[in-house]
Chain A
Amino acid sequence: MKEYDAVVIGGGPAGMAAADVLGDHVKTLILDENDMLGGQLVKQTHKFFGDHVHYASTRGFEIANKFIDKIEKKPVDILTSSTVIGIYPQNTVAYVRNGHEDQVKYKKLIIATGAMERQLPFINSDLPGVYGAGAVQTLMNQYGIFPGKRFLIIGSGNIGLILAYQLAQTGVEVRAIVEALDKIGGYEVHANKAKRLGIPILLKHTIVKAIGDESVQGAIIAEVDDKFNVIAGTEKEIVVDTICISVGLMPITELTEQAKCKIAYIPELGGYVPVRDERMRTTNPDVFVAGDLSSIEEATTAMIEGKLAAMQIVEDVKKIDLEKEISNEIKTLAIFRSGPKSLKIRSGLEKMGIVTPRIEMPKFSPLPNSENGKLHAVIECTEEIPCNSCESACKFDAIKVGENINTPPVFDPLKCTGCAVCVTVCPGLAIFMEKSDESPNATLGIPYEFLPLPKSNEKMWGMDRDGNYVCDLTVKRVVKNPNKTYIVYVDLPKEFVDVVRHVTYPRKENPFVCRCEEITVDQIEKVIDSGITDFEEIKRITRVTMGPCGGKNCKMIILGIISKKTGIPISKLSHGTSRPPVKVVEFSAFLRGDKK
Chain B
Amino acid sequence: MMKHASVVVIGGGIVGSAIAFSLLKMKTKNVCVIEKSYVSSGSTGRCAGGIRQQWSSPMNVKLAMRSVKLFEEFEKDVGMNIEYYQGGYLLLAYTDSEVDDFEKNVRMQKSQGLDVEILTSNQIKEKFPFINVEDIKLGSWCQSDGHANPQLANIAYAIAIRKMGGEFLTHTTVTGIDVQNRQIIGVQTDNGYISTKIVVDAAGFEAPKIGSMIGVDIPVHGERHQILVTEAVNHFLDPLVINFNHNYYVRQTHHGSLMMGQGDANPASGEDLGNTIEFLEEMSEKMIKDFPLLKNIHIVRQWSGAYDMSPDAQPIIDESKDISRFIYATGFSGHGFMLAPAVGESVAEMIIHGQTVTTDVSNLKMDRFTIGIEREHNVV
Chain A residues with a Cβ under 8 A of chain B: 530-532, 534, 536-537, 540-541, 543, 546-548, 550, 574, 577, 579-581, 584-591, 595
A584 close to B285 (CB less than 8 A): no
B38 close to A548 (CB less than 8 A): no
With a cutoff of 8 Å between Cβ atoms, the chain B residues found around residue A586 in the complex are: 295-299
Q: How far is the CB of A176 from chain B (nearest CB, A)?
A: 22
B40 close to A590 (CB less than 8 A): no
B229 to A, closest residue via Cβ = A546
Contacts A531-B162, A548-B231; is A537 near B300 (CB within 8 Å)?
no
Bitwise interface map of B from 76 to 103 toward A, beta carbon under 8 Å scored 1, else 0: 0000000000000000000000000000
A540 close to B295 (CB less than 8 A): no
Tell me which residues from 282 to 332 in chain B have a Cβ below 8 Å from any Cβ of chain A. 283-285, 287-288, 294-303
A591 close to B285 (CB less than 8 A): yes
B298 close to A537 (CB less than 8 A): no
With a cutoff of 8 Å between Cβ atoms, the chain B residues found around residue A589 in the complex are: 284
Contacts A536-B38, A588-B295; is A580 near B287 (CB within 8 Å)?
no
Q: Looking at the complex, which one of B38, B40, B275, B297 makes contact with A579 (CB distance below 8 Å)?
A: B275
- Expressed in whole angstroms, the Cα–Cα distance for A574 and B155 within the complex equals 18
**B23 interfacial contact with A, CB 8 Å:** no
Chain B residues with a Cβ under 8 A of chain A: 38-41, 45, 151-152, 155, 159, 162, 170, 230-231, 255, 275, 277, 280-281, 283-285, 287-288, 294-303
With a cutoff of 8 Å between Cβ atoms, the chain A residues found around residue B298 in the complex are: 548, 584-586
With a cutoff of 8 Å between Cβ atoms, the chain A residues found around residue B170 in the complex are: 534
With a cutoff of 8 Å between Cβ atoms, the chain B residues found around residue A581 in the complex are: 280, 299-302
Q: How far is the CB of B377 from chain A (nearest CB, A)?
A: 29
- Which of B152, B170, B284 counts the most A-chain CB atoms under 10 A from its CB? B284
A530 to B, closest residue via Cβ = B159
With a cutoff of 8 Å between Cβ atoms, the chain B residues found around residue A590 in the complex are: 280-281, 284-285
- Expressed in whole angstroms, the Cα–Cα distance for A119 and B280 within the complex equals 48
With a cutoff of 8 Å between Cβ atoms, the chain B residues found around residue A580 in the complex are: 275, 277, 301-302
With a cutoff of 8 Å between Cβ atoms, the chain B residues found around residue A531 in the complex are: 159, 162
Q: Looking at the complex, which one of B39, B255, B284, B303 makes contact with A591 (CB distance below 8 Å)?
A: B284
Contacts A548-B231, A579-B301; is A537 near B39 (CB within 8 Å)?
yes
B275 close to A587 (CB less than 8 A): no
B163 to A, closest residue via Cβ = A531
A537 close to B280 (CB less than 8 A): no
- Expressed in whole angstroms, the Cα–Cα distance for A581 and B151 within the complex equals 21
A584 close to B300 (CB less than 8 A): yes
- Expressed in whole angstroms, the Cα–Cα distance for A591 and B302 within the complex equals 18
B284 close to A537 (CB less than 8 A): no
With a cutoff of 8 Å between Cβ atoms, the chain B residues found around residue A530 in the complex are: 159
- Expressed in whole angstroms, the Cα–Cα distance for A587 and B260 within the complex equals 12
- Expressed in whole angstroms, the Cα–Cα distance for A586 and B258 within the complex equals 13
Chosen A-B contacts, 20 in total, with CB atoms closer than 8 Å, are A530-B159, A534-B39, A536-B40, A536-B45, A537-B39, A541-B151, A574-B38, A579-B275, A580-B275, A580-B277, A580-B302, A581-B301, A584-B300, A586-B295, A586-B296, A586-B299, A587-B284, A588-B288, A591-B285, A591-B288
Q: How far is the CB of B124 from chain A (nearest CB, A)?
A: 22
With a cutoff of 8 Å between Cβ atoms, the chain A residues found around residue B283 in the complex are: 587
A584 close to B39 (CB less than 8 A): no
B300 close to A540 (CB less than 8 A): no
- Expressed in whole angstroms, the Cα–Cα distance for A579 and B229 within the complex equals 11
A532 close to B155 (CB less than 8 A): yes
- Expressed in whole angstroms, the Cα–Cα distance for A166 and B275 within the complex equals 49
Q: Contacts A531-B159, A590-B284 given; 4 further ones with Cβ under 8 A? A: A540-B40, A581-B299, A587-B230, A590-B280
- Expressed in whole angstroms, the Cα–Cα distance for A543 and B296 within the complex equals 23
Q: How far is the CB of A393 from chain B (nearest CB, A)?
A: 47
B302 close to A579 (CB less than 8 A): yes
- Expressed in whole angstroms, the Cα–Cα distance for A584 and B275 within the complex equals 15
B40 close to A537 (CB less than 8 A): yes
A577 to B, closest residue via Cβ = B303
- Expressed in whole angstroms, the Cα–Cα distance for A134 and B148 within the complex equals 56
With a cutoff of 8 Å between Cβ atoms, the chain A residues found around residue B151 in the complex are: 540-541
With a cutoff of 8 Å between Cβ atoms, the chain B residues found around residue A585 in the complex are: 280, 298-299
Q: How far is the CB of A513 from chain B (nearest CB, A)?
A: 17
- Expressed in whole angstroms, the Cα–Cα distance for A540 and B299 within the complex equals 19
With a cutoff of 8 Å between Cβ atoms, the chain A residues found around residue B281 in the complex are: 590
Q: How far is the CB of B243 from chain A (nearest CB, A)?
A: 16
Q: How far is the CB of A432 from chain B (nearest CB, A)?
A: 34
B302 close to A587 (CB less than 8 A): no
- Expressed in whole angstroms, the Cα–Cα distance for A577 and B275 within the complex equals 12
A584 close to B231 (CB less than 8 A): yes
With a cutoff of 8 Å between Cβ atoms, the chain A residues found around residue B280 in the complex are: 581, 585, 590
Q: How far is the CB of B168 from chain A (nearest CB, A)?
A: 10
With a cutoff of 8 Å between Cβ atoms, the chain A residues found around residue B38 in the complex are: 534, 536-537, 574
Q: Looking at the complex, which one of B45, B230, B303 makes contact with A540 (CB distance below 8 Å)?
A: B45
Q: Looking at the complex, which one of B296, B301, B302 makes contact with A588 (CB distance below 8 Å)?
A: B296
Q: Looking at the complex, which one of B255, B284, B295 makes contact with A543 (CB distance below 8 Å)?
A: B255
- Expressed in whole angstroms, the Cα–Cα distance for A534 and B155 within the complex equals 11
With a cutoff of 8 Å between Cβ atoms, the chain B residues found around residue A534 in the complex are: 38-39, 170
- Which of B40, B280, B296, B300 counts the most A-chain CB atoms under 10 A from its CB? B300
With a cutoff of 8 Å between Cβ atoms, the chain B residues found around residue A550 in the complex are: 300-301
- Expressed in whole angstroms, the Cα–Cα distance for A564 and B73 within the complex equals 37
B151 to A, closest residue via Cβ = A540
- Expressed in whole angstroms, the Cα–Cα distance for A589 and B45 within the complex equals 28
Contacts A540-B40, A581-B301; is A587 near B162 (CB within 8 Å)?
no
With a cutoff of 8 Å between Cβ atoms, the chain A residues found around residue B302 in the complex are: 579-581
Q: How far is the CB of A233 from chain B (nearest CB, A)?
A: 12
With a cutoff of 8 Å between Cβ atoms, the chain A residues found around residue B294 in the complex are: 587
Q: How far is the CB of B257 from chain A (nearest CB, A)?
A: 9
With a cutoff of 8 Å between Cβ atoms, the chain A residues found around residue B288 in the complex are: 587-588, 591, 595
Q: How far is the CB of A537 from chain B (nearest CB, A)?
A: 5
With a cutoff of 8 Å between Cβ atoms, the chain A residues found around residue B299 in the complex are: 581, 584-587
Q: Which 7 A-B pairs have the closest CB atoms?
A: A590-B284, A584-B298, A540-B151, A587-B284, A534-B38, A536-B38, A590-B281
Contacts A534-B170, A585-B298, A587-B295; is A579 near B303 (CB within 8 Å)?
yes
With a cutoff of 8 Å between Cβ atoms, the chain B residues found around residue A541 in the complex are: 151-152, 155
With a cutoff of 8 Å between Cβ atoms, the chain B residues found around residue A543 in the complex are: 255
With a cutoff of 8 Å between Cβ atoms, the chain B residues found around residue A546 in the complex are: 300-301
A587 close to B39 (CB less than 8 A): no
- Expressed in whole angstroms, the Cα–Cα distance for A590 and B278 within the complex equals 9
B285 close to A548 (CB less than 8 A): no
A534 to B, closest residue via Cβ = B38
- Expressed in whole angstroms, the Cα–Cα distance for A189 and B194 within the complex equals 61
Q: How far is the CB of A396 from chain B (nearest CB, A)?
A: 50
B289 to A, closest residue via Cβ = A595
A584 to B, closest residue via Cβ = B298
Q: How far is the CB of B188 from chain A (nearest CB, A)?
A: 24
Q: How far is the CB of B271 from chain A (nearest CB, A)?
A: 15
Q: How far is the CB of A531 from chain B (nearest CB, A)?
A: 7
- Which of A534, A581, A585, A587 counts the most B-chain CB atoms under 10 A from its CB? A587
- Expressed in whole angstroms, the Cα–Cα distance for A532 and B275 within the complex equals 29
With a cutoff of 8 Å between Cβ atoms, the chain A residues found around residue B300 in the complex are: 546-548, 550, 581, 584
- Expressed in whole angstroms, the Cα–Cα distance for A595 and B295 within the complex equals 12
With a cutoff of 8 Å between Cβ atoms, the chain A residues found around residue B231 in the complex are: 548, 584
- Expressed in whole angstroms, the Cα–Cα distance for A581 and B230 within the complex equals 11
Q: How far is the CB of B229 from chain A (nearest CB, A)?
A: 8
- Expressed in whole angstroms, the Cα–Cα distance for A534 and B154 within the complex equals 14
A537 close to B297 (CB less than 8 A): no
Q: How far is the CB of B141 from chain A (nearest CB, A)?
A: 26
Q: How far is the CB of A586 from chain B (nearest CB, A)?
A: 5
Q: How far is the CB of B47 from chain A (nearest CB, A)?
A: 13
With a cutoff of 8 Å between Cβ atoms, the chain A residues found around residue B275 in the complex are: 579-580
- Expressed in whole angstroms, the Cα–Cα distance for A25 and B162 within the complex equals 91
Q: How far is the CB of B158 from chain A (nearest CB, A)?
A: 8
A588 close to B39 (CB less than 8 A): no
B282 to A, closest residue via Cβ = A590
With a cutoff of 8 Å between Cβ atoms, the chain B residues found around residue A548 in the complex are: 231, 298, 300
With a cutoff of 8 Å between Cβ atoms, the chain B residues found around residue A547 in the complex are: 300
- Expressed in whole angstroms, the Cα–Cα distance for A543 and B41 within the complex equals 15
